[in-house]
Amino acid sequence: MTAFTDDFNRADSSNIGAGWVEVSGDWSIVSNQLSPGAAGGTIILRAATAAATDDNYSQVAITSATVASQGVWCRGDATIANGYLWRNNGTQWDLFAVVGGSFTVIATFAAAAVNGDVMKVQAVGNTIKAFVNGTQRASVTDTSVTTGKNFGIRSESVSGVRYDNFAGGDVATGSDVPATIAQAYGGLGGGVTATREVSAAVTQSYGALGGGVTGAREVVLTASQSFGALGGGVTAVPEIPATIGQAFGALGGSAVAARETFALVDFAGGALSGHVTIQPDGGVLALPNATVVAKAWLATIDGITANRVANELPRRADWNGAVDGFVTVLPLIANAELHVPIQHPIIQFDCWGAFGGSTKKPNHGVANDLAERIRQAAEATTWLGVPEIELPPDVMPVWLSSVFVVRGVTRVPDDHYAHYSLDVHIGWIERDALAGAVG
């Protein structure tokens, strides 16, 4: 695999170094930057060492932009009579397929080049992509040029044009993307993609941050958005240790991993519709429901053990003699928020007492005690004191957001059991649909 870089940090000279071949024109080093001179016309520079494969790229920073043709090329022959060119002409970016010396535009992006722009072109198979400052601005399927291992720079020889920090070579399969991408105004809509891992910090101040960040192994990402829509997804196969921050606007993208998601989603205003999900061992977690959550909450209350809780009352013949009281769980209302994964079910808890010993009378004391334990647990709960609950391992975990009594303890007449009932609101959030939500 070929990887070639040059920061041009050396003494001023008309000899730019052994790493380069001046195909045409007179290139030079000026103030630690590359200059195409001022002779006029279009001149070409290529790296002396070719790429190892036909899947290669070329990129360079424009440090002094002017109205001139300036670009990078890849998958070329020795003179770029064939290859792909990404250039700015002072008003817009054009992606060219070059065949037999004939230049054909296959994609455009309307924007003038500015100082500091990093332009990049790459060819992988039949997919040709072009980028500005790490943001994809063109992607085309093209079969005009299928082979070519040379790469370099093509520029007008105009006074004042300067380049810096060139990089080129093979596009490595399974490569990392250790990228820091910052955008102040306008739309940051391009994606950051790697087939191995993405160690990326993406910062957007104004406008839409809509691009996705994808890695086949892991995504080590900080995505920060101040205003506008943060709509891009974050995806990795094993795990996503991600911090995603959104101040205003819609946070609509998803963060998905097949094994684990260590994600903090920090959100202040607007619509939060994205999910952060995990799929352990490639499987899909069952979504939690009100009954499962209510039973798990009951398990946090002293004196209410698992063998005292069920969905329905057992037949008298099946009543466990060692259990003198029983709680059944009946969801009445299951409201949910439109934009966030928060549930607001109302749960009816029915508390039953068995016949007590030789008296053959329902044990009202036991039934009432169970109901009062549930009431006290709900009334003792605050926003800062919501207990942790444990769900079955195949169910997506949740955080309880609020618990309070809706209908107090009431005795229900019954000839065979002591029966007391109350209704409790239990609010909960799907933990892996919204991990670490604040706002």
Assess contact for 24 and 39: CB atoms under 8 A: no
Compute the average pLDDT of residues 391-403.
81
Instruction: Return the residue matching tokens 């792909």.
Output: 84
The answer to whether 187 touches 167, Cβ cutoff 8 Å, is no
What average pLDDT does the structure give for the chain? Answer: 82
Q: What is the mean pLDDT of residues 319-347?
A: 77
307 vs 238 pLDDT, higher one = 307
Q: Is the pLDDT of residue 275 over 60?
A: no
Domains within the chain, CATH numbers bracketed: 1-171 (2.60.120.560), 174-282 (no CATH), 290-430 (3.30.2000)
pLDDT of 292 above 70: yes
Residues with Cβ within 8 Å of 359's Cβ and at least 6 positions away in sequence, in order, are none
Listed in sequence order, the DSSP H helices in 257-330 are 290-298
Q: How far apart are CA 58 and CA 208, in angstroms?
A: 28
What confidence score (pLDDT) does residue 287 get?
A: 75
Grade residue 318 by pLDDT with cuts at 50, 70 and 90: low
d(CA 198, CA 220): 6
437 pLDDT band (50/70/90 cuts)? Answer: very low
> What average pLDDT does range 328-355 have in this prediction?
82
Q: What is the rounded distance in angstroms from the CA atom of residue 422 to the CA atom of residue 134?
A: 58
The sign of the torsion formed by the CA atoms of 126, 132, 138, 144 equals negative
Predicted confidence at residue 310, as pLDDT, reads: 84
Q: What is the DSSP letter of 379?
A: H
Percent of the chain with pLDDT over 90: 46
Q: What is the pLDDT of residues 1-44, one digit of tens each?
A: 888 999 999 999 999 999 999 999 999 999 999 999 999 999 99
Pairing between β-strand 180-183 and β-strand 325-336 as defined by DSSP bridges? unpaired
Q: Quick one: pLDDT at residue 438? A: 37
Digit-coded pLDDT (tens) for 407-429: 999 999 877 778 999 999 998 88
Cα–Cα distance between 420 and 73 in angstroms, integer?
A: 79
pLDDT per position as a tens digit, 90-115: 899 999 999 999 999 999 999 999 99
Query: What is residue 214's predicted lDDT score, i.e. its pLDDT?
Result: 75
